[in-house]
Amino acid sequence: MSLSIAAVVRPVCAPLDVLGRDVTVPLVTGGEVAYAALDYAASAPALQRVWDDVAAYAPYYGSVHRGAGYLSQLSTDLFENARGTVAEFLDCRPDDQLVFTRSTTDSLNLLARALPADCQVFVFETEHHASLLPWQDARVTYLDAPRTPGQAVRILERALAASDPHGPALVCVTGASNVTGELWPVRELAAAAHAHGARIVLDAAQLAPHHPVSVQDLDVDWIAFSGHKLYAPFGSGVLAGRADWLVAADPYLAGGGASRKVTRREDGGVDVEWHESAARHEAGSPNVIGAYSIASACRALTEAGFDALVARERHLIEKVRTGLAEVPQVRVLSLFGDDAPRVGVISFVVDGWNSSHFAAALSAEYGIGVRDGLFCAHPLVRTLLGGAPETQGECGAPEAAPGEKSLNAIRVSFGAGTPDEHVERFVTAVRELVTDGAKWQYRTEDGRCVPALT
């Protein structure tokens, strides 16, 4: 059964059409301005194409799996077709499983629950907390932050060589840093892992929205990402990869949908026969709209062409990096150096400014949305900043511990829906704030730096 309400194919624009492009926000200095959404690394705006596809489907929404009605059958077909679309987008192997989850965090926690007994996990301290923290029940080896891609491979090779060669092992690595935007040598790390009998999972939350990702070309065993960073809202994510560990593990959630057969025993207990398909880890009513939105975004990005999207993003990266380089007080954070390839994620600090204060001024005085803090990658940001400054600054950092009130940074991030004007306004705002200072007074409220009342 096919969905008869497919969205109309539109000519691809650069930038791609996203929701919120016409939203205006008030400025503390008076008037309004079109909002410049430059926090894509946290959540990207929804593609208009995705929103239209979901709106077209919404009246036909029904329960999935086992429903006899037309809408249930249509929704089931749409849900399972979405699984196939995403698997094709990721270039999965024919026997891979693709499980729909809530997010990257949920996906990696699911995999952590599926680890074989006595599995050893290797993870760099530079990871986002979503890929740094789920492995607490395993034997975890935390690897020091590398300063070049080649060093990353060597660090991993040494750690694997020193480990137990006979037990199961897993390497977890990001594809692109959520702090620096730098691309990691995933293919080389996968080769190192496999050479030592380990498997590898790729956190592609920041990579998949910006670059094509092929499970087969990168030779990773699993991949995880979130829909809301791929221009697809509604709280859905993906874990895709080898089926054996997933099938051998108890269901991530126990309940309807994960079970194939449930019977009472004579002793009063219950026997359960679990599914061996992806349904094993998708108990409960699935997020059909979330899965469909991811599939819609995958189709939209594929049709737009990643070559064109990557080229345009490099153009925006160059604008931002050139503009920031012209302000001596700005220091861009980097592990691998200025020449390292990256996606549209750039973090920096400004001499004489607390980052929370600077980000608040960008928002209140220029209508620019960025992020400040430690970006759920505390060990990495601490490494990049090189310690804890003593000066507190005008406004406290929301995530900083006592004694680290200035240990935070500013992150600007952008992507397929970002117009040139937004990054140009950002660069101008940075220059003006550094040169002229803020036009408004700010204070700390509930851990955030906010404009003071007049």
Catalytic residues: 376
Q: At a CB cut-off of 8 Å and minimum separation 6, what does 339 contact?
A: none
Compute the distance between CA of residue 270 and CA of residue 276 in angstroms, rounded to an integer.
19
Other beta carbons within 10 angstroms of residue 69's beta carbon come to 10
Query: In residues, how long is the chain?
Result: 454
Name residue 209's amino acid. P
Which among 353, 402, 400, 368 has a CA at the least distance from the CA of 381? 400
Kindly list the distances between the CA atom of residue 250 and the CA atoms of 110, 113, 116, 272, 427, in Å, as whole numbers in the listed order: 10, 8, 11, 11, 51
Radius of gyration of the chain (CA): 23
Tell whether the torsion through CA atoms of 297, 300, 302 and 307 is positive or negative.
negative
| Percent helix, strand and coil across the chain, each to the nearest 5 | 35, 20, 45
Q: Encoding tokens for residue 190?
A: 């996968």
254-278: buried (b, 16+ CB within 10 Å) or exposed (e) per residue? Answer: eeebbbeeeeeeeeeeeeeebbeeb
**Sheet with 169-174: strands ordered across:** 97-101, 237-241, 222-226, 199-203, 169-174, 120-124, 139-143
Enclosing H/E stretch for 323: helix 306-325
Handedness of CA 22, 23, 27, 32 (dihedral sign): positive
Please tell me the distance from the alpha carbon of residue 90 to that of residue 82, in angstroms, as a whole number: 12
Report the b/e string of 8-33 with b at 16+ CB within 10 A. eeeeeeebbbbbebeeeeebbeeeee
SS3 category, 363: helix
CA 237, CA 233: separation in Å to the nearest integer? 10
| Calculated CA dihedral for residues 9, 12, 15, 19, nearest 10 degrees | 0
Find the helix or strand (DSSP H, E) in which 89 lies. Answer: helix 70-89
